[in-house]
Structure 1
Amino acid sequence: MNDRRKGVREFMGKRKVTILCSGFGLGFYIPGLLAANGFKKRDIATEVLVFESYLEQDKRDHIADSRKAYHNDFALANFSARMPMDIRGSIDYAQVELLLEAWKAEERYEFISLSGHWGYILDLYREKMLPNPIHVDLLYVDSDLAPSWKSLKKYHPRYDEHYYNACLYDTDKMAIRYEIPVPLGTPLPFESRKRRLVVHGGGWGMGTYQSKVPELVGHNYGLDIVAYDWNEAKPDPDHRYWMNDPEWCAWVKSANGLHEFPPYIEIAGEDTKAYPAEADHHWLFDVASEAMAIVAKPGAGTLIDSLASETPLILLEPFGSHELSNLELWESLGFGIRYEKWREMDFSVDVLKEMHQAIKNRPGERMDYVDHYCSRVTLMKG
């Protein structure tokens, strides 16, 4: 028994969990950083990597064009979400080989992937490490397969054969399995919140959020609107405009060589201010935590913000079938309401309070995903 404990201690001493994100949407990036913080609190080292860093340069250069096109045309974005893509033709394999050799030299054994695009690279590494096994969690932050996972499944149907499927949500039971907390203490009670709504279109500014602003303005709510670019911001005394720093890019490391939360800007005319990135969470979480509701499409990051801050969602048109599944889950749990239904209720504050209470009093153990991971994987290695 003493020898076994010594082995576990030695394993824990050199342990590093590699968290594989994507910059395509902040919902496949921010949760990875939050998980990394969770491991750090448990004295487990991590490295966060972003898939787009390992694309061929010309493919990477076109991402900004896609982002702008999807922002301008939500129907096009939804069409693209239904079209499978074989990402293998876009990967820079020379750069990937250098990465895999570095992992092998460091004896990396633990991985968490938030994007299906990493599946092919993980398979290459698994083969390189044979006969030694690696452990991979495929972390699904939506309640159904997002486009990267659907594409992977189409071209590689048995992609999860050697890996662990870690699902935050159980759609069969309409329940939450695991949560990714945001480290900000106790959520504000509803009575202490400002009569404000956060309005946004996710990390890429997609969807119908802009069209709802004129209607919301007339119902006695202050608005915190996340602008996609400077042209969208029209600040006035009742409505604040915010923006991720447009110079920031998820797959470009910061000056200290790490992937970090985005810096941001509060747009207020002559009083416009730029702020550095927060150390352990996305800045928008602070704004959402003081609001009565979030008006947004049901992306993965928005669900995490809603749970952690106990802020209900006013559900806008989803992006893809995975976000439709998210919408149905939040609606079923009583954590969100479709915008059209809330409008029929004359934008009721009482409805928002009921949903806040539903989130606050949600059943279950509230199992932290990182705790769940550590209990499984430590036992496996020990």
Structure 2
Amino acid sequence: MGDTRTGQAGAQRRTRAFIGSFTSTGGPGVLAADWDADSGALRVTGESDAVVDPSFLALDADVLYAVSETEEGAAAAFDATGPAPRPLGAPAPVEASGPTHLAVVGGHVLTANYTSGSVSVLPRTADGPLGPLTDQARHEGSGPLADRQAGPHAHQVLPDPGGRWILAVDLGADCVTIAALDPVTGALRPHGTTALRPGTGPRHLAFHPAGTHAYVLNELEPTLTVCRWDAEQGVLTPLGETPVVPDGTAGPAYPSEVVAAPDGRFLWAAVRGTDTLAVLALDPTGDAARLVATVPCGGQWPRDLALAPSGRHLYAANERSGDVTWFTVDPEKGLPEQAGSIPVPAASCVVFG
């Protein structure tokens, strides 16, 4: 998962970080940073405000992709090889409103469009910019919480570990949809839908490193739904739920992101409102998760949580306090200890590559 810094012959590969932020509330846009693998420290090297509200990013080799989370909705490509991200062409319309997440799948980029409740497919062109829409899958359904679930709200789209299936997590319809992507035409073929408990509001999921399970983090109830994943059949089966805040926690709690440890022993979840990181231990089978601790996120409103490629450091993008904090993870207990931070107004996500 390295970003190859080409240039002089014999140049070494190094990993960099990229940070998204909301320009509409004072964020600088997309930032590039050098990453110190030993300390976990980030050092910003440049930024670009070429895209409005690049709330989520995805990196593939030397190209960085960003959503533009706006009413009209777009996605954009950046050259990620220099000290600052450099736009590659104009943003491409996703023909939907409020894209919140995107993923690179082969020769295409897919966006999850929250407001419209759909998934859009855009082709990647040879010289970098994204091409016009090839397909769009519109979700259906609603949930019991009328203010948040009057209709579908796709919040995340990602491929399964084998790359055969596309999963989209829908907060408004309380479900995860499964489809197959035609690598040539960019068409999505619906395959199935897994219904989750009504009112939970699933937001994002993370796969077990073995590819046998998926862990769905719910936003409208602070819980995690453990699911078994059948990669052969493309079937997601819920097994049970576990809380990501302690019993008796006061005040609202809105989970945002979940990541899995490379060895499959732990999960970490960011929770807004309580402004905490939840530490969950997985049993050896992956069939159950148990909340073992929560720690402060080091800021306010952790919208995103990312694990460094080394697996030794966690990064929280704290939107309301305007910073990215990083934590050193105890490999035996899974407990994060804050190690540093950098200011990033309206921070929304962190990705590595």
**TM-score interval for Structure 1 and Structure 2 normalised by the shorter chain:** under 0.3
TM value normalised by structure 1: 0.24
TM value normalised by structure 2: 0.26
Instruction: State the structure with more CA Rg.
Output: 1
* Higher RCO, 1 vs 2 (CA within 8 Å, ≥6 residues apart): 1
